[in-house]
Amino acid sequence: MGVDVDLIFQIAGVGIVVAFLHAVLEGIGKKEYAQWVTLLGFIYILFLVISIVQDLFQKIKSVFLFQS
Amino acid sequence: MQIVGLGLIATFLVTILNEHKSNISLLLTVFVGTVIFLFLMDRIQDIFRMVQTLANEAHVQTVYVETILKIIGIAYIAEFGAQISKDAGQGAIAGKIELGGKILILAMAIPILTALIETILSFLPMKG
């Protein structure tokens, strides 16, 4: 459980930092960089989420469908 | 208790994130749902081990127990996917996922239904 809670805060923190960077970069007029930052943050979080969803599906498989 | 705390923290963080980046808050929702499911999965594993032991002691054929477990698994996965889709605002896709889950469950139940009908037929007196 501890690791998972840490990951939740990590995701939320990355989201806040990305939103902040996006606002700052748009404020100084670098719109392309702002979009790249958003995209990178999104991909990183997507990676985290996908890895834990894969964990969940493996576990469901091993519990319900008798495959290990 | 841990699950309630987790849900409250996640709700708070999603509310903060929703004002700035709604796509990331959606991913956070998916993540929290997965974590809670993972947490519950350990308990479900214990319950199912007990069910299996009981079935073994009662000499039930393992095919039936296995089919029932698979059906429950399909129900869990379909529910999970449908709720994620619903959170993302795609009610139509969620409905399709649930429909797919139901049809797959019906398809898996066919061997049990066949066995039931065969049992009933064997009770009937044979004529000729």
Q: Write down the domain spans for chain A.
A: 2-66
Tokens encoding B7: 């849900």
| pLDDT level of residue B102 (50, 70, 90 thresholds) | very high
Q: Would you state the structure tokens that stand for residue B2, as one six-digit string?
A: 């841990």
Count of domains observed in chain B? 1
Please tell me the distance from the alpha carbon of residue B3 to that of residue B32, in angstroms, as a whole number: 10
Cα B124 → chain centroid: 37
Q: What confidence tens digit (pLDDT) does each residue in A11-44 have?
A: 888 888 888 888 888 888 888 888 888 888 889 8
Is residue A52 within 8 A of residue B38, CB to CB? The reply is yes
Residue A54 with chain B: CB contacts under 8 Å: none
Domain that holds residue B69: 61-128
Q: Which stretches within chain B are classed as H helix?
A: 2-18, 22-57, 62-87, 91-108, 110-123
pTM of the predicted model as reported, rounded to 2 decimal places: 0.70
Binding-site residues on chain A for chain B (CB distance < 8 A) = 1, 4-5, 7-9, 11-12, 14-16, 18-19, 22-23, 38, 41-42, 45-46, 48-49, 52-53, 55-57, 59-61, 63-66
Integer Cα distance of B69 and B63 in angstroms? 10
CB contact under 8 Å between B25 and A18, yes or no, is no
Res B68: pLDDT: 81
Residue range B16-50, pLDDT digits in tens: 887 777 777 777 888 888 888 888 888 888 888 88
B26 found inside a domain? no
